[in-house]
Amino acid sequence: MSSRLHIICGPMFAGKTTRLIQAAHDYQSSNLQLLVVYPRKDTRYKPDALTTHTGVSFPATPINSPQQLLSLATNIQAICIDEAHFFGAELIEVVRALLHESAMHRNITIAGIERNHLGNPFEPFPWLLCEADEVTKLNSSCARCGKPAIHSKRLTESTQRIAVGGIGDYEARCRACFALSEN
């Protein structure tokens, strides 16, 4: 048996954290040693828990950087990482190391947004998607027309790479409505 990488991606409000919590429950019910983490800078909801926009939560450890995973993952068989795009390219080498550690066979499930608010690839997803054994690509409903949405439109003026937000700060948009908003 070898390590496996499962990626869950899609725009805001697509249910990525819900799917990650389901994976964590599955690992837990299989009696695997489990580590669930999210970026400490995501302060939108409960501390020490993954929390969906609808309030469903699961105990988790906030971390400052992906390097913390290397010490936290000792003897861990399953790892769930939420909001991977917050970590950027820094996450790539850490995930690579965790997948290739010869003494462990791990299941790693990672959730996040694979396109930034401009519609461009969001690090670390170009690498993660290529390396994945399984990809679950979710859609949301376009906030403008209701069609399947693949983009997250930032509604604030922030130009930062990461602007923590939720309802009112972002909208899910289909390809057509996203393109119209760029004009």
* 104-139 tens-digit pLDDT: 789 999 999 999 888 999 999 999 999 999 999 999
The overall average pLDDT reported for the chain is 90
* C-alpha to C-alpha distance for 163 and 176, rounded to whole angstroms: 24
Structure tokens given for 83: 């909001």
* C-alpha to C-alpha distance for 58 and 73, rounded to whole angstroms: 18
Average pLDDT over residues 173-177: 94
Active site (catalytic) residues: 83
In this predicted structure, the answer to whether residue 70 has a pLDDT above a threshold of 90 is yes
pTM for the model: 0.91
Q: What is the pLDDT of residues 72-82, one digit of tens each?
A: 999 999 999 99
- Where residue 163 falls among pLDDT bands split at 50, 70, 90? low
Fold of 4-138: Rossmann fold (3.40.50)
Domain boundaries, the chain: 4-138
In this predicted structure, the answer to whether residue 45 has a pLDDT above a threshold of 90 is no
